[in-house]
Amino acid sequence: MKLIVVKDFEEMSRVSSEIVLGVMHRNERVNIAPTTGTTPVGLYKIIVERIKNKSYFNHVHYYNFDETPFRVSKKEGRIITNLRQMFLTPANIQEKNIHPLDQSNFMTRDQELAEFGGLDLVILGLGEDGHFCCNFPGYAKFSQKTVEIPLQGKLYELYKGVFAEEKEIPEALITMGPSAILASKKLLLMVSGKAKAEICKQALFGEIKEDVPGSILRTHPDITIVVDEDAASLF
């Protein structure tokens, strides 16, 4: 793993944008799986400004790596909706370059990706509980490829608040599991803030175990981890 400790959120975003733009500038089709959440907000601000309406980035394709679908309504899931709002729509990405993951296609996603050369880059954040994508402690298995995770127990409690209407809470989440994410050619992990300091130390320097799902990421042969000083304060 390559670890880069930077001053703050802004520098984390800037350094990360260099890595992402470096991959985007390749001469052929590029497949990227970008995260949602608060960590990449600064990154996407930089990237959107740079790639918006630039035809020389038309070969870049986007795949969301997890989804929390709505149970009843037929609208797109929460993750792809967020990703559109914070990144894809302001960047004016063509619809043909957007590949939403959902209940209808998750079982064939790994195969489909392989046919188009596989993922070139996954942009990841780390949860305070050590999760990445929808790989949560107590649920994640390092062996999982792209799977459905039944929304039960602690996970149900965690998610019920995020749906305005109870009838919309889905029976299951969908996520690329650790083995599917590690199959990407390159990984970028961003971690920011004091609240992440403890889990960041565990994930980067502690035992590699399923209770800290993010701990497996550092075994990837081409991962860059960009951490701000707050998140690195316990190293």
* Three-class SS state of 146: strand
Calculate the alpha carbon distances from 219 to 59, 192, 200 in Å.
29, 21, 15
In the annotation, is 120 catalytic?
A: no
Under the criterion CB under 8 A, does residue 224 sit at the interface with a second copy?
A: yes
Cβ neighbors of 108 (< 8 A, separation 6 or more) are none
Q: At what angle do helices 9-24 and 41-51 cross, to 10 degrees?
A: 40
Question: Which of residues 69, 178, 193, 214 is near a second copy by CB under 8 A?
Answer: 178
Rounded CA-CA distance 200/194 in Å is 10
**Do 1 and 205 contact (CB within 8 A), yes or no?**
no
Count of residues interacting with a second copy (CB under 8 A)? 40
**Do 185 and 218 contact (CB within 8 A), yes or no?**
no
Site for a second copy in 19-58 (CB under 8 A): 19, 21-23, 25, 27-29, 50, 56
Under the criterion CB under 8 A, does residue 98 sit at the interface with a second copy?
A: no
Whichever of 141 and 160 has its CB closer to a second copy, that residue is 141
**Closest by alpha carbon to 180, among 135, 126, 234, 232?**
135
Question: Which of residues 117, 138, 150, 153 is near a second copy by CB under 8 A?
Answer: 117
Under the criterion CB under 8 A, does residue 114 sit at the interface with a second copy?
A: yes
Whichever of 161 and 221 has its CB closer to a second copy, that residue is 221
Is the sign of the CA dihedral 80, 86, 90, 92 positive or negative? negative
Q: Which stretch binds a second copy (CB under 8 A): 35-43, 83-91, 150-158, 174-182?
A: 174-182
Under the criterion CB under 8 A, does residue 103 sit at the interface with a second copy?
A: no
In the annotation, is 220 catalytic?
A: no
In the annotation, is 59 catalytic?
A: no
Rounded CA-CA distance 187/82 in Å is 21
Residues within the interface to a second copy (CB under 8 A): 2, 4, 18-19, 21-23, 25, 27-29, 50, 56, 59, 114-118, 141-143, 178-179, 182-185, 205-208, 215-216, 218-222, 224
The catalytic residues are 66, 129, 131
